Amino acid sequence: MAKIGVKISGDIALVHAAGRITLDEGSSNLRESLRGLIEEGKNKIVLNLSKVKFMDSSGFGALVECYTSARKHGGDLRIASPSFKVIDILSLTKMDKIIKSYNSENEAIKSFAK
Amino acid sequence: MSSYILRFDEISKDDVNLVGGKGANLGEMTRAGFPIPAGFCITSNAYKKLLSRKTQENIAKILREIDYDDAEDIKIKALSIRNIILQEKIPDDISTAIVNAYKAMDKGRGLPYVAVRSSATAEDLPEASFAGQQDTYLCIKGKEELLDKIKQCWASLWTDRAIQYREKNRFDHTKVYLSVVVQEMVNSEKSGIMFTANPVTGNRNEMAIDASYGLGEAIVSGLVSPDNYIFDKATSAIKTKNISEKKLKIIRNPEAGSGTLQLEIPEHERNAHVLTDKEIIELSKMGKKIEAHYKSPQDIEWALREGRFYILQSRPITTLQKKKRIVKGKDIWTNANVGEALPGVASPLTWSFFFSVAVYTAKNFLRGIGLTNLDFVDAGFDKIIKRICGRVYFNFAFIYDLFAGMPGYRLFKSAYDAVMGGHQSEIEYIPTPQKIKILNISTLILIPRVMIGIIKELRKKKSLDKDAREFVAYLYRRRRELDSVDLKLKDLDELLSSFAEGSHLVADAFTIYMRTTDQFTYYALLGSFLNKHLGDDGRLRNLMITGLEGMKSAQPSVEIWKLSKLAERNPEVKDVIINSESKDVLEKLEKLPQARDFLEALNFFMDEYGVRSPREMEISTPKWRENPSFVFSTIRSYIIAGEDVNPIRLQEAQRRTREAATRDIINRLSEGYWNRIFPWKKFLFDYLRKNTQKLTLQREYLRFYVVMAGDVFKKIAVSIGRILKDRGILGEIEDVFFLEIEELARIAAQEFNLETIPKLVKERREEFQRFEKIHPPDVIVGDYTPEDYFSELEQIKGDILTGLGTSPGKVTGKARVVIDPNNARLEKGEILVAPFTDPGWTPLFITAGAVVTDLGGLLSHGSVVAREYGIPAVVNVKFGTKVIKDGQIVTVDGNKGIVLLKTSPS
């Protein structure tokens, strides 16, 4: 099962996702949580994916959709400590060249300060 | 002796520059003591001297003016160059030297009859083959006659074909010379050709001798069918004698004083044995010696006169499966297997995407077995897959290196070679076992983890069925959802997530498809089992995977057949399909009220199978849903051919054949007391058979869904293309296929400078067109330089194409050379000759009498489907589409793996 946890720290929304992000289990969860944040104006998002065991194409689609939406609202979505699974998907789809990702949550948070 | 003339006994094999390949060879054999009729060569120096500076300038001037696009012009200019040479007076010192050498051949019985032949040589490429310059004049006598024929040989360097050949292969015309061989004519009673290895089967333990009456020209020119004897080298026994009816012979013309004539052989001699057993054995001994001398199988012209054998010529057999080439420390690039999935020049989008997916799949596997640091995969993957002239090649050396040293490597390699097809089996690769630096420092810690990982992977095999079912259901669902979104309404940035999702979907499909690769192992093991216990040559093994129920790749034919039945019941629809151009059918049907039911069925078909196309892994090829012409022309040929080609019945017949063969095998394996008490053979057979069948079905099934996922991705790419076209950045939507996957991602993310696109596309289109004109071979060792490979096609001689027989049977029929299946029509019984085939071609197999493909292996699409329909197939003939003429009558022998180009009327 997918778990999505949200923490707000200053103007940055810290989102923890864990488990399986798939069509049936977590992709709409993830999409709705992130969409909600963006609608509230919390569009600087750090998405921690270290606990994601599996992400199917629909889950990944939701992630990219939210990235686009955050950018559109003047913010950004950055990935923190992606699991190997996520790293491989990012490089397969070439999203590693588009969505910024960082080894740790701290680095990702700091990157927004620059 | 001047430098213009060299007697055979003065020539060695190093004199190729002076006397050409043929001359050097005759010298070499004379020196080695073989019974070569006496003779001499007029060296290339003579030819050089003949061409005065002024003549050379004249020739050069004509050459500069040739319009190589105009065949007529080449002919005319070639003729004028030949005229210049024929007009030249042979310098006195040369003609004197020739006449003296000729006179020296007079052994007291007057000037002898001689044969005059050309022997070409090029300074830079002494061993290059020179097609079309094999002028031969037989039974020449007298000084004037001789000098005249020598001049004609010189002039033959300038036939239009020779000029074109040099131009095509970029030989410098001024650096190609000609030597002339003058050899005493053996007025033979019997003559023929001897192959020191069986040229049909490639068996090096056998020799084959062709023999007929009179001069050898009768056989060489194909005038007679000679006797054929097969001789066993090891036991010195004559294995088979095939006696033919020899109607004609060529003899020296006794009246004219020179030249030859054809003569009818008296009725009672026509079916006699040309050679006696004693003669066959004597000749074979000579053949063995010559082969030993050259250390390679030879193609030898021989003659027999007054009880004595003469050797007229010996050349290496080039069409024979080559002696294995030993390769060490070099890459072996092959596209024999990749070539079937992705044949031809790949578009930049297909290639970049394929590469990316392949890297992902490899990482997925390695992660599965417990490896974590996979930077080496990203860094080194281009050592495994790369493009050569736009085509996708796979490095076999890498795989061999990886597995070398592991248990079962030899079995693995031979199975791999056999199943994959291609010419890598002609290479003996000495692997360099991989140092396990992949695992670097933490190797020791990793070992248990990797072991557990491997066990986990093996267990996953069991769940393949379930995983495949789940994935396919998922794919249909996602496809429906993605299709319900009107991509046309989306803007670029909104397409980014669809793009990411689509590419991920294809990678998932491919990953699960790759899990069926085990099929090769089971198939190979089944083959060696049947070979060991029943002496099977592959026929039974292949039968085991024919007529399988639920074969996804055979399904489109069945569905199209059903559509044809529906069309037949509807006269208006039938009329449109039969009498319109395929490309206009859809439009006409849409205007026809009576066609509504048919169109509904067609849409239903397209929804599933419309994702298919020829070259189905190439994203730029129009899918059936985009271009239905092929479907309509297939419906048309079904309607015309009728019940005979009913694919349902054909498959049913194949199923019955398979089941009968299975029962027969089981019976044979159960013979004998112990086999009945302990039926382990039967159990092992069943185990291997069932796994092979299951994986074959799964592989074909999942391949279809890779294509379907690819089609989802294609729709997204096309949407990006449409937006770029609307914005005036692309000239046409299809230009999008000339962008790479990373560029598309950046474009959708609005992080790409769109102004640079038109130039990129233009350059890549040009490169694409350039690559399409180059045809690299299917196996390349080391780096590819087109010049090293140019002569392969020219080396084909004789009337046999050798390949791999992958579906049994022998059929003679009219060849149809098909490059684009969309425009192809195959009448019933015609032989399909194709560069390769994939599921987009399947319906053509219905009416085909046999199949010949340039590429392919035992498990490639063409082989599988041919077995399915029970028609003979010979794959991997390399040059079928180039050598076989459309409409030519050929014989396809799927048992022996050969295609006979010249078929006797009987």
Q: How high is the pLDDT of residue B472?
A: 95
CA distance A6 to chain B (A): 22
Q: Which of B355, B369, B496, B750 to mutate to test the interface with A (most CBs of A within 10 A)?
A: B496
Predicted local confidence at residue B181, as pLDDT: 92
Is B190-316 a CATH 3.30.470.20 domain?
yes
User: Comparing B241-245, B377-381, B782-786, B799-803, which segment has the lowest mean pLDDT?
Assistant: B782-786
The sign of the dihedral angle between the CA atoms of B524, B525, B529, B530 is: negative
Q: Does the structure show a pLDDT above 80 at B140? A: yes
The predicted model scores a pTM of 0.65
B677 falls in which pLDDT band (50, 70, 90)?
Answer: confident
Q: What is the pLDDT of residue B489?
A: 76
What would the two tokens of residue B489 be?
A: 């309404």
Q: Is the pLDDT of residue B778 over 90?
A: no
Closest CA–CA distance from residue B345 to any residue of chain A (Å): 22
| Measured distance CA(B502)–CA(B504) in Å, rounded | 5
> Under CATH, to which class is B5-184 assigned?
alpha beta
Contact B504 A97 (CB under 8 A): no
pLDDT at B166 over 70: yes
Q: Do B497 and A88 touch (CB under 8 A)?
A: no
Cα gap B853→B834, rounded to integer Å: 5
Residues 6 or more apart from B607 whose CB is under 8 A from it? none
Instruction: Give yes or no for B386 touching A (CB within 8 A).
Output: no
Enumerate the residues of chain B whose CB falls inside 8 A of the CB of residue A62. Answer: 497
B788-900 belongs to CATH 3.50.30.10: yes
Is the model's pLDDT at B383 over the cut of 90? no
Q: Specify the CATH class of A3-113 in words.
A: alpha beta
- Nearest CB to A98: which of B474, B477, B751? B751
CA quadruple B839, B841, B845, B849: dihedral sign = negative
Helices (H), B644-739: 647-669, 673-677, 680-726
Give yes or no for a contact between B874 and B781, defined as CB atoms under 8 angstroms apart. Answer: no
Q: Is the pLDDT of residue B130 over 70?
A: no
Q: Which of A35, A39, A43 is nearest to A8 (CA)?
A: A43
**Nearest CA-CA distance, residue B411 and chain A, Å:** 33
Query: What span, in angstroms and rounded, lies between the C-alpha atoms of B800 and B202?
Result: 12
**Would you kindly state where each structural domain of chain A is located, as residue ranges?**
3-113
Closest to A61 (Cβ–Cβ): which among B367, B474, B498?
B498
More confident residue, B741 or B162: B741
More confident residue, B628 or B172: B628
SS (H, E, C) B432-494: CCCCHHHHCCCHHHHHHHHHHHHHHHHHHHHCHHHHHHHHHHHHHHHHHHHHHCCHHHCCHHH
List of chain A residues whose C-beta atoms are within 8 Å of the C-beta of residue B504: 56-57, 60-61, 89, 92-93
List pLDDT tens digits, range B504-529: 999 999 999 988 877 777 888 898 88
Q: Regarding predicted confidence, which is higher, B313 or B169?
A: B313
Q: In chain A, whose CA is at the least distance from the CA of B507?
A: A92
Confidence at residue B132, expressed as pLDDT on a 0 to 100 scale? 42
Give B493 to chain A, closest Cα distance, Å.
Answer: 7
Contacts of B359 in chain A (CB under 8 A): 91-92
Q: What is the mean pLDDT of chain B?
A: 83
**Region of residue B316 (phi > 0: left; psi between -120 and 50: alpha; otherwise: beta):** beta
Give residues with Cβ within 8 angstroms of B388, minimum separation 6.
Answer: B333, B335, B776, B780, B784
Q: Is B363 on the interface with A (CB under 8 A)?
A: yes
What is the predicted pLDDT for the residue at B835? 86
Residues of B with Cβ-Cβ distance to A65 under 8 angstroms: 496-497
Q: Are the beta carbons of B741 and A94 separated by less than 8 Å? A: yes
Whether A3 has its CB under 8 Å from any CB of chain B: the answer is: no
Give the pLDDT score at B337. Answer: 64
Average pLDDT over residues B659-671: 92
Average pLDDT over residues B675-691: 91
Task: State which residues of chain A have pLDDT below 70.
Answer: 1
Q: How much is the average pLDDT of B645-649?
A: 85
Task: State residue B420's pLDDT score.
Answer: 56
Judge: B496–A68 Cβ closer than 8 Å, yes or no.
yes
Instruction: Write the pLDDT tens digit of every residue in B315-338.
Output: 777 554 444 566 677 788 887 666
Residue of B nearest to A90 (CA): B500
Decide if A24 touches B, using CB distance below 8 A.
no
Q: Where are the domains of chain B?
A: 5-184, 190-316, 326-516+704-770, 519-698, 788-900
The answer to whether the CB atoms of B500 and A60 lie below 8 A apart is yes
Does the beta carbon of A100 lie under 8 angstroms from any beta carbon of chain B?
A: no
Contact residues on chain A for B710, CB-CB shorter than 8 A: none
User: Which residues from A are below 8 Å from B453, CB to CB?
Assistant: none
State which residue of chain A sits closest to B471, comparing Cα positions. Answer: A56
Tens digits of residue pLDDT in B596-610: 999 999 999 999 999
ipTM of the prediction: 0.94
Distance in Å, alpha carbon of A8 to nearest chain B alpha carbon: 26
Interface test with B, best of A68, A72, A97 (most B CBs within 10 A): A68
For residues B421 and B272, the model is more confident at: B272
Chain-chain contact of B497 with A65 (C-beta, under 8 angstroms): yes
Of B367, B503, B751, the CB nearest to A93: B503
Q: Does the pLDDT of residue B202 top 60, yes or no?
A: yes
B378 contact A CB<8A: yes
Instruction: Tell me the mean pLDDT in the region B643-650.
Output: 83
Query: What pLDDT shows up at residue B128?
Result: 46
pLDDT tens digits for range B82-123: 888 888 888 999 999 999 999 999 888 888 899 998 887 764
The answer to whether B135 contacts chain A (CB < 8 Å) is no
pLDDT band at B417 (very low <50, low <70, confident <90, very high): low
pLDDT (tens digit per residue) in B884-906: 889 899 999 887 788 988 754 43
Query: Which residues of A are less than 8 Å from B474 in CB distance?
Result: 23, 56
